[in-house]
């Protein structure tokens, strides 16, 4: 039985000031990873808002997926909790070789075709940012943001977010904007209450 | 004359010699000039050809090098673009750089070093290194994977900064030389210059066994040209070092001596504007074969020149002969004409001399004779004036006196003639009454003791004046009248007529009697008639008369002598203004 308070929990909503984008805002889920002055971000700009704190790790976590479709990673940015297994299905008609040299997680899945079974997967066991590359398609770039928390959400293109079912207490609310920029604000969450926090 | 001919011949010979010499000098000069020019041209051509050949060989080598460089650079760029290498650099995984590169550059490093012949086609690398963002070499964890280098050599791969374009350099290591290509690595994410890949290769070296052409590399004051002996290399190195430091030209050539053999040395900056130290390609080409070829050509030209000279010698000889031939003829002709003129001149001189002598002789003789004759005449006259001689003696004396007077007349005539011949006779021209003069002489004529019975006809106006000296006029008239009487016949006649004719007065004296045969020169001095006649003079009268008439500006001529009639005509100049009145 899950306590009602827990079920109800606390909530945080607000808005993250996102970098200006020259591209027209799109409602579609498609976005990509771009680099500018060595900084990786999404295009159109999106932020990952998460609650930082010491949370107990669940015994098992749901598997996540980053597919390779039309020579891009889908999704281009994937926030996950530490210990999550991510599968990398090849949805193209060609070989892909997904690898990462990021200190957070180095792996190399080798070349594989779409019908490769089992679908190559990796467990990300350290928090941090992982840059996904394809050894065959040098332009392909994907990001996995490994977080030490189960509470995270991606903003919409306007920067709006809402986190529900949060445990009450003192935490730090963080917003990952790009590979170099993370904003944060201390928050005090109370059960049943929705806190409004803007991260300018 | 013979001596003159020899002189002429000598002159012609001398002319021919001078002409020949002149032509020879011109031919020799032209030949020498031609030889010199041809020689120079050939040397220049040969040198240019050699250079061209040299350049062609070098250029083909350079083309191969460029191709290899392009291929290598392409390969390096492809490697530098590898996602793993980028990932290692960009994703903060330098430890994975060399291991990743090991896989990626495996094909470049595998296998053995190619032979020099295959070097151009081979992309075999000797080593490779990455440079960090400052341009320093990133040390490999395992040197054996990336080509081992000693620390000193490895240090040469570092640059002051990362290159933003491909760079070519040359590094030395233990007597060996490596050609390195550095390619920049730009971050695929940021576009920034993040690293560089430096790959070392065996340098491209040329050694043409056929032409003896060899190439090497000079870098950092050291010449790498293993084909040369060390001593030659070090002496060459000094020269190249001074050229490389002093010259701004990227390429040039000069002559050097290697082991006493002349060589053409070509140098070319291999890596202009490179961040690596400047390196020169050094190429030496022995010119021995070229020199031999040039010498052979020179000999050929020299032979041709000698032949030309010989031809010129023969030709000029002929030309000199041909050209001097007309001159010789001219000389001969002129000699002949000169001889002729000399002869004529000599004859003239002789004649003049003889004439002079005869004139002088006549004058002298006349003078010499005149004095004794005068003495004789005076003696005879005084004897004739004495009394007491027999009648026969008087007659004899009278005849002697007559002859003496005649002789005196002859001598006076001679004296006059000789004076005229000598041009000494001066005329004191005055108006002379010719009519009166003729009348007087006609009177005298009738009074002469031996005058035959001739009838005298006169037909001239009185007071007819002519210009002249009276005594000479008188002599002319006397001569003609005496002749007319002397050569007349018994019962004959003398006709004297005169007529003023403007500027002239013509006096005609005709007489009957034997005619003068045609062609007989009666005006010749000492002329004697071919027809014997009782009456004959001393042969000077007509001559003297004509000379005197001419001296007075007139003339005396025989106008008629046939049918018992001989007529002379004398022309005088009218005395100015006098006859007009008449």
Residue B253 sits at φ, ψ, to 5 deg, of: -145, 155
| Side-chain-side CA neighbours of residue B394 (13 Å) | 8
- Decide: B169 and B180 in contact? Cβ < 8 Å: yes
- Decide: A76 and A32 in contact? Cβ < 8 Å: yes
The verdict on whether omega for the bond into residue A44 sits within 30 degrees of 0, i.e. cis, is: yes
Percent above pLDDT 70 for chain B: 88
The answer to whether B419 contacts chain A (CB < 8 Å) is: no
**Tell me, what's the pLDDT at B248?**
63
Q: What is the mean pLDDT of residues B341-352?
A: 78
**Tell me, what's the pLDDT at B363?**
67
Which of B100, B189, B114 shows the shortest CA–CA distance to B146? Answer: B100
Distance of CA B239 to the CA centre of its chain: 53
How confident is the model over A90-117, as pLDDT tens digits?
999 989 999 999 989 999 999 999 988 8
Taken in order of first residue, the domains within chain B and their CATH numbers are: 107-290 (no CATH), 341-420 (1.10.287.130), 426-527+535-573 (3.30.565.10)
**Tell me, what's the pLDDT at A28?**
40
Q: Please, which pLDDT band fits residue B551 given cuts at 50, 70 and 90?
A: confident
How confident is the model over B88-102, as pLDDT tens digits?
888 888 888 888 888
pLDDT at A187 over 80: yes
pLDDT at B182 over 60: yes
**How confident is the prediction for chain B on average, in pLDDT?**
80
Q: Please, which pLDDT band fits residue B453 given cuts at 50, 70 and 90?
A: confident
pLDDT at A145 over 90: yes
**Tell me, what's the pLDDT at B509?**
92
Counting every residue written for chain B, the total comes to 582
Q: What is the mean pLDDT of residues B533-540?
A: 61
Q: Which of B83, B86, B192 sits opposite A38 (nearest CB)?
A: B192
Which sign does the torsion angle of CA B340, B346, B348, B354 carry? negative
**Tell me, what's the pLDDT at A99?**
93
What residues pair up with A82 in beta bridges, in sequence order?
none
Does the distance separating the beta carbons of B87 and A103 come in below 8 Å? no
**Tell me, what's the pLDDT at B284?**
82
Higher pLDDT, residue B203 or B357: B203
Pairs of residues, one from chain A and one from chain B, whose beta carbons lie less than 8 Å apart: 53
Residues of A in contact with B188 (CB under 8 A): 138-139
Interatomic CA distance for residues B369 and B362, integer angstroms: 10
Q: B87: nearest CA in chain A?
A: A101
Would you tell me which residues 77-136 of chain A have a C-beta closer than 8 angstroms to some C-beta of chain B?
99-103, 106, 131, 133-136
- Decide: B359 and B365 in contact? Cβ < 8 Å: no
Q: Which of A38, A99, A138 sits opposite B190 (nearest CB)?
A: A38
Residue B144 sits at φ, ψ, to 5 deg, of: -65, -25
Helix intervals (H) in B105-157: 106-109, 143-146, 151-156
Q: A131: nearest CA in chain B?
A: B91
Q: Please, which pLDDT band fits residue A2 given cuts at 50, 70 and 90?
A: very low
Which of B375, B364, B434 shows the shortest CA–CA distance to B404? Answer: B375
Residue B527 sits at φ, ψ, to 5 deg, of: -75, 140
Q: Please, which pLDDT band fits residue A122 given cuts at 50, 70 and 90?
A: very high
Residue with tokens 């000599």: B346
pLDDT at A184 over 60: yes
CATH for the stretch A4-195 = 2.60.40.420
Higher pLDDT, residue A25 or B533: B533
**Tell me, what's the pLDDT at B582?**
37
User: To the nearest 10°, the Cα dihedral for B133, B135, B138, B139?
Assistant: -160
Question: What contacts 24+ positions apart, CB below 8 Å, involve B378-383?
Answer: B380/B404
Interatomic CA distance for residues B513 and B491, integer angstroms: 10
Residues of B in contact with A111 (CB under 8 A): none
**Tell me, what's the pLDDT at A5?**
45
Percent above pLDDT 90 for chain B: 4
C-alpha to C-alpha distances, A68 to A41, A60, A91, A120, B539, nearest whole angstrom: 18, 25, 5, 12, 167
Which of B510, B502, B496 shows the shortest CA–CA distance to B461? Answer: B496
Interatomic CA distance for residues B329 and A174, integer angstroms: 133
Q: B186: nearest CA in chain A?
A: A38
**Strand positions, DSSP E, B270-380:** 279-286
- The answer to which of B64-68, B144-148, B464-468, B491-495 has the lowest mean pLDDT is B64-68
Q: Please, which pLDDT band fits residue B533 given cuts at 50, 70 and 90?
A: low
- Decide: A51 and A163 in contact? Cβ < 8 Å: yes
Which of A79, A55, A75, A182 shows the shortest CA–CA distance to A130? Answer: A79
**How confident is the prediction for chain A on average, in pLDDT?**
84
Which residue in B80, B81, B83, B84 has the most chain A C-beta atoms within 10 A of its own C-beta, making it the best mutation to test that interface?
A: B83
Interatomic CA distance for residues A124 and A146, integer angstroms: 7
**Tell me, what's the pLDDT at A26?**
42
Q: b or e along A174-199 (b: 16 or more beta carbons within 10 Å of the residue's beta carbon)?
A: bbbbbbeebeeeebebebeeebebeb
Does the distance separating the beta carbons of B82 and A134 come in below 8 Å? no
Residue with tokens 């008087």: B394
């Amino acid at each position: 039985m899950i306590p009602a308070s827990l079920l109800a929990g606390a909530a945080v909503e607000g808005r993250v000031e996102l970098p200006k984008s020259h591209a027209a805002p799109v409602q579609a889920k498609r976005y990509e990873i771009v680099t500018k002055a060595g900084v990786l971000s999404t295009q159109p700009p999106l932020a990952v808002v998460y609650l930082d704190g010491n949370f107990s790790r669940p015994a098992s976590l749901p598997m996540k997926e980053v597919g390779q479709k039309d020579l891009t990673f889908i999704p281009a940015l994937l926030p996950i909790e530490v210990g999550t297994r991510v599968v990398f299905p090849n949805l193209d008609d060609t070989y892909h070789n997904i690898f990462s040299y990021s200190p957070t997680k180095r792996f190399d899945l080798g070349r594989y075709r779409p019908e490769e079974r089992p679908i190559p997967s990796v467990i990300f066991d350290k928090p941090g940012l992982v840059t996904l590359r394809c050894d065959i398609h040098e332009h392909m770039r994907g990001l996995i943001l490994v977080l030490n928390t189960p509470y995270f959400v991606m903003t919409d293109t306007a920067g709006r977010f809402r986190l529900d079912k949060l445990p009450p207490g003192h935490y730090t609310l963080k917003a990952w904007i790009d590979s170099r920029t993370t904003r944060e604000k201390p928050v005090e969450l109370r059960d049943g209450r929705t806190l409004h926090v803007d991260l300018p | 004359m013979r001596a003159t001919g020899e002189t002429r011949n000598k002159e012609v010979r001398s002319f021919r010699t001078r002409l020949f010499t002149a032509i020879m000098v011109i031919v020799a000069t032209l030949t020498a000039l031609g030889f010199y020019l041809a020689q120079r041209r050939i040397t220049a051509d040969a040198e240019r050809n050699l250079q061209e050949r040299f350049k062609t060989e070098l250029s083909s080598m350079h083309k191969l090098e460029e191709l290899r460089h392009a291929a290598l650079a392409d390969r390096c760029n492809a490697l530098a673009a590898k996602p793993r290498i980028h990932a290692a650099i960009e994703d903060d995984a330098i430890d994975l750089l060399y291991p990743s590169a090991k896989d990626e550059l495996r094909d470049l490093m595998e296998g053995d070093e190619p032979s020099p012949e295959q070097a151009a086609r081979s992309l075999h690398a000797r080593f490779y290194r990455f440079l960090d963002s400052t341009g320093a070499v990133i040390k490999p964890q395992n040197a054996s994977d990336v080509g081992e280098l000693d620390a000193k050599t490895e240090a040469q791969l570092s640059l002051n900064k990362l290159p933003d374009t491909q760079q070519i350099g040359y590094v030395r290591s233990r007597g060996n030389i490596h050609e390195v290509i550095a390619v920049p690595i730009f971050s695929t994410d940021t576009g920034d210059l993040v690293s560089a890949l430096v790959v070392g290769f065996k340098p491209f070296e040329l050694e043409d066994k056929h032409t003896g052409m060899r190439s090497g590399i000079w870098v950092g004051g050291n010449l790498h040209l293993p084909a040369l002996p060390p001593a030659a290399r070090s002496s060459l190195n000094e020269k190249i070092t001074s050229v490389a430091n002093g010259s701004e030209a990227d390429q040039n050539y000069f002559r050097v001596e290697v082991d006493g053999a002349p060589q053409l040395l070509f140098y070319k900056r291999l890596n202009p504007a490179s961040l690596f130290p400047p390196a020169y390609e050094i190429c030496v080409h022995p010119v021995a074969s070229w020199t031999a070829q040039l010498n052979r050509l020179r000999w050929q030209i020299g032979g041709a020149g000698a032949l030309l000279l010989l031809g010129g010698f023969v030709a000029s000889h002929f030309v000199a002969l041909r050209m001097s031939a007309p001159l010789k003829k001219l000389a001969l002709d002129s000699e002949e004409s000169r001889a002729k003129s000399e002869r004529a001149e000599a004859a003239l001189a002789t004649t003049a001399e003889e004439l002079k002598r005869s004139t002088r002789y006549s004058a002298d003789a006349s003078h010499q004779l005149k004095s004794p004759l005068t003495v004789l005449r005076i003696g005879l006259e005084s004897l004739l004036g004495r009394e007491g001689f027999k009648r026969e003696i008087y007659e004899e004396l009278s005849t002697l006196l007559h002859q003496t007077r005649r002789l005196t007349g002859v001598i006076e005539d001679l004296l006059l003639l000789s004076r005229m011949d000598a041009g000494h006779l001066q005329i004191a021209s005055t108006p002379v009454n010719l009519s009166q003069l003729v009348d007087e002489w006609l009177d005298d004529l009738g009074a002469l003791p031996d005058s035959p019975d001739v009838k005298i006809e006169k037909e001239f106006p009185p007071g007819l004046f002519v210009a002249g000296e009276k005594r000479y006029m008188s002599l002319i008239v006397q001569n003609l009248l005496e002749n007319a009487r002397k050569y007349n016949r018994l019962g004959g006649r003398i006709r004297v007529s005169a007529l003023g004719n403007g500027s002239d007065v013509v006096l005609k004296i005709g007489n009957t009697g034997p005619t003068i045969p045609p062609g007989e020169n009666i005006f010749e001095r000492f002329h004697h008639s071919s027809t014997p006649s009782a009456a004959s003079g001393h042969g000077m009268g007509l001559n003297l008369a004509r000379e005197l008439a001419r001296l007075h500006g007139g003339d005396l001529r025989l106008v008629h002598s046939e049918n018992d009639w001989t007529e002379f005509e004398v022309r005088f100049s009218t005395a100015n203004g006098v006859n007009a009145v008449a």
